[in-house]
Amino acid sequence: MFGAPKTTDLTPAQVKAALDAQEILLIDVREPAEFAEERIAGAKNIPLSSFDPTALPDAGGKTIVLQCAGGKRSAMAVGKCRQANQAIETHLAGGLMAWKAAGLPTVTGNG
């Protein structure tokens, strides 16, 4: 759409650095079973299927960054935030797949 606000794409390296610096709150919008199987350490799970932008946790001054498996669902969640007039526009481009492709660590199972 012409004139539509753009989603801010972060690279895995940018997200890792911001997580390490405690500058962001990472929200994983995948479903609970996917999250339980493998996730980025420190991410909070709020599935897209029940995603309510007005009920997101207080980020305590941090930037909220959305993330999914490949980037599509997190971009959809950014759209839901925009529709609800929530100033959340940032996601991990390429999602968990890009994170892993960059050689960054994940947490698997209940660990």
Q: Looking at residue 61, which CATH number applies to its domain? A: 3.40.250.10
Domain count, the chain: 1
The whole-number average pLDDT for the span 48-64 is 94
- Report if residue 14 sits inside a domain: yes
- Report if residue 2 sits inside a domain: no
Q: Which of 5-9, 81-85, 102-106 has the highest mean pLDDT?
A: 102-106
Phi, psi of 54 (to 5 degrees): -80, -10
- Smallest CA-to-CA distance from 10 within 85, 83, 67, 61 is with 67
Residue 76 CA: distances (Å) to CA of 19, 37, 51, 60, 111: 22, 22, 10, 24, 29
Over 60: is that where the pLDDT of 1 sits?
A: no
The whole-number average pLDDT for the span 84-110 is 94
For residue 4, the model assigns a pLDDT of: 55
pTM reported for the whole predicted model: 0.92
SS3 state of residue 101: helix
Domain span holding position 84: 8-108
- Report if residue 3 sits inside a domain: no
For residue 2, the model assigns a pLDDT of: 54
- Report if residue 94 sits inside a domain: yes
Average pLDDT, the chain: 93
Residue 104 CA: distances (Å) to CA of 48, 59, 78: 24, 24, 24
